[in-house]
Amino acid sequence: MVAARLEITGLRKKFGGVVALAGVDVSIDGSGITGIIGPNGSGKTTLFNVVTGAHKPTAGRVTWNGQDITALPAYRIARLGLVRTFQQAMSYPGLSVRDNVSIGFEHGRSIGSTDRRWRSPDEVLAFVGLDGLGEEVAGSMSFGNLRRLGIAVALAADPVLLLLDEPAAGLSDSEAGDLRELILRFPKMGIGVCLIDHDMALMGAVCDHFIVLNFGTKIAEGAPAEVLQNAKVLEVYLGVDL
Amino acid sequence: MSADQRRDAVTAPGFSLNTRKTGSSGWLERPPLDHIVMGVAILAFLIAFPFFNPGYRFLSLAITTGFTAIALYGLALQFGQAGIMSVGHAGIMGIGGYTAAILANQLGIGFWLALPASILLSALAAGLVGLPSLRVGGQHYIIITFCFCALLVIALTNGGDFTGAATGLDVGPIAGPFGINLAKLRNMYYLVMLALVVSLVLTYVIVHSPYGRTLWAIRENEPLARAVGINTNFHKIGVFALSGAFAGAAGILQTYYLRHISPPLYGAFPSLYLALMVMLGGARPLYGPLLGAIIVTFLPEVGGLDPIDSRIAYGVGLLLVILLLPAGVSGGLLGLYRSMIGRQRRAEKG
């Protein structure tokens, strides 16, 4: 099987006069763990929004496994296996935890297929460590569990490439540790990961590739160790010693 | 509605539409016992009602309550499940009513053949009227539905002989099967109640099916729903069409009950009343719409209010409900029932 690949060329997104993405060219390997880093407002989440069809780009092209998905509605992109999570609003707060996952199960990439990684919503819950909490109302769960649920909802839709938007934000150290273990299991299961986060310990530990954004443009990319030595990256992202 | 209230509404036991028993493997789980008890009690009452000698006036009001409630179940699906309010629902009823009346007058087609046509055309019309809701939300969409009603009334009034203009159209009685005379009020009552029970059961099934869960997910978090592959626009228009189908059935029943229809029946004012009833009764508890229809239909008669007084009463009632019982009267009763059960359980634990 040829590895899945997400190709983004010349992607621009303007909100009124604000340029959120100023022509981004990146190619993301759909089988590894790619980290997208950059300061606040550098366009990371906008990139996710445009790629997954939540926003339409001003210009540019996105292809997934050679198919042009630039103009596709969000639900079609999700059914092609590009599934994202959200920084906030990770779940359907009024539904039970199991129903949250069932929704993804009933609508995702492999609707009607028997060849799935997980055979039931409960298996997905067990996988992310929420077993036994299926009856809970999502909105009444702890923040850490809500983060897990957000990932479970996305996994239930059977992603090929999972786009995680700040999954570690607001988590305690031990919860972030669990998250790291979870993310590291995805590539072995054939799920690629594209990850946005500010937790550099987490990013450094899981990512095999870094893409650095600043003011809507890519300023560096490559192996994590290499990128973190890059003078430009140090300057815009980590700050410079004066 | 605050997050806590929503959570309460969701976790509430009893008659709420949204008490979803999870964990069952079946497509549609068996309703809980109190649902069944309540359902049987209501059914028994509906069947027995004409035997209490309600008189012509009260039986007529009961029929009006019946077809109004059918329309309300549609509106409740749209408002309670998809979260989109409309004040154009009477207009959709009008599509159903006029479809039946025009078929009868132009082609001599009776009630039973016109029934599917009314339902279908109303569903179609509701889907079309629902299209702008994909772009505009909340009060802006409500204004659009308001305009739809106003335009419909103008169109019907200027439709010449085809729509009967301002005078409207007449229809004959329903040709009852097995020689049942449906011109008789009591028989008409049973027909409408049968349709009401069907609507109630359908609503229950829709809400508790995976489709109902999908609608709920869209209302709770639309971006997330899209992100896992739900075609949210399709489902939103779908729920409008479904809501319209209920209105169509209500419209044709109203037409054959009144035997004469005219444009003002379907204007913005009757639509506002429907919206009022749904909010008063509660859109999400299963018996909310029925309760809303009963309160608004019977209040002037029971309370001896003239039309002006009753409007004032409705206005004050609606304000009180919005302020004090955001889930409607049925939601309030549900809360009372819940706290009583809770107290009882605590007492048993001692």
SS3 B178: helix
CA dihedral defined by B147, B74, B17, B282, rounded to 10 degrees? Answer: 50
Interface of A with B (CB under 8 A): 52-54, 73-75, 78-79, 83-86, 89-96, 98-100, 102-104, 106-109, 111, 134-135, 137, 139-140, 153-154, 156-157
What the block records as the tokens of A31 is 């089988």
What the block records as the tokens of B181 is 């005379």
Q: What whole-number distance in Å separates Cα of residue A31 and Cα of residue A11?
A: 22
Residue B14 lies in a domain: no
Is beta strand A18-29 parallel, antiparallel or unpaired with respect to A5-15?
A: antiparallel
Contacts of A147 (CB under 8 A, 6+ apart): A90, A167, A168, A170, A171, A175, A179
pLDDT attached to residue A234: 80
Contacts of B93 (CB under 8 A, 6+ apart): B71, B122, B247, B248, B250, B251, B254, B266, B270
Each of the 350 residues of chain B gets a pLDDT tens digit; together they read: 444 444 333 333 333 444 444 443 445 667 777 778 888 888 888 888 888 888 888 899 999 999 999 999 999 999 888 888 889 999 999 999 999 999 999 998 989 999 999 999 999 999 999 998 888 877 889 999 999 999 999 999 998 888 888 888 988 888 878 878 887 888 899 999 999 999 999 999 998 888 888 998 998 899 999 999 999 999 999 999 999 999 999 999 999 999 999 999 998 888 988 998 998 888 888 888 998 999 888 888 888 788 788 888 888 888 888 888 877 888 888 888 888 888 887 777 75
Contacts of A68 (CB under 8 A, 6+ apart): A61, A62
Residue B237 lies in a domain: yes
Contacts of A96 (CB under 8 A, 6+ apart): A134, A135, A136, A137, A138, B20, B22
Q: What whole-number distance in Å separates Cα of residue B320 and Cα of residue B239?
A: 29
> Hey, are the CB atoms on B226 and A134 less than 8 Å from each other?
no
Q: Which domain holds residue B94?
A: 30-349
pLDDT attached to residue B117: 96
Residue B15 lies in a domain: no
pLDDT attached to residue B73: 95
pLDDT attached to residue A8: 92
Q: Name the nearest CA neighbour of A167 among A193, A189, A131.
A: A193
Q: What size, in residues, is chain B?
A: 350
How many structural domains is chain B composed of?
1
Residue B11 lies in a domain: no
What are the mean pLDDT values of chain A's consecutive 10-residue runs (242 residues total)?
A: 78 90 89 90 91 92 92 92 89 91 84 74 91 89 92 92 92 91 91 91 91 90 87 74 56
Residue B8 lies in a domain: no
> Hey, are the CB atoms on A137 and B220 less than 8 Å from each other?
no
Q: Name the nearest CA neighbour of B269 among B80, B59, B94.
A: B94
Asked if B123 contacts B115 with a C-beta cutoff of 8 angstroms, the reply is no
What the block records as the tokens of A82 is 């590009």
Residue B19 lies in a domain: no
Q: Looking at the DSSP assignment, which residues form a beta bridge with residue A15?
A: A18
Residue B6 lies in a domain: no
- Nearest-neighbour CA in chain A from B7: distance (Å): 6
Element (H, E) at A15: strand A5-15
What the block records as the tokens of A19 is 């340029």
Residue B240, amino acid: F
Q: In chain B, whose CA is at the least distance from the CA of A84?
A: B227
Asked if B178 contacts B273 with a C-beta cutoff of 8 angstroms, the reply is no
Residue B2 lies in a domain: no
pTM for this predicted structure: 0.84
Interface of B with A (CB under 8 A): 3, 6-7, 9-11, 18, 20, 22-23, 210, 213-214, 216-217, 220-221, 223-233
What the block records as the tokens of B331 is 């939601």
Residue B296, amino acid: V
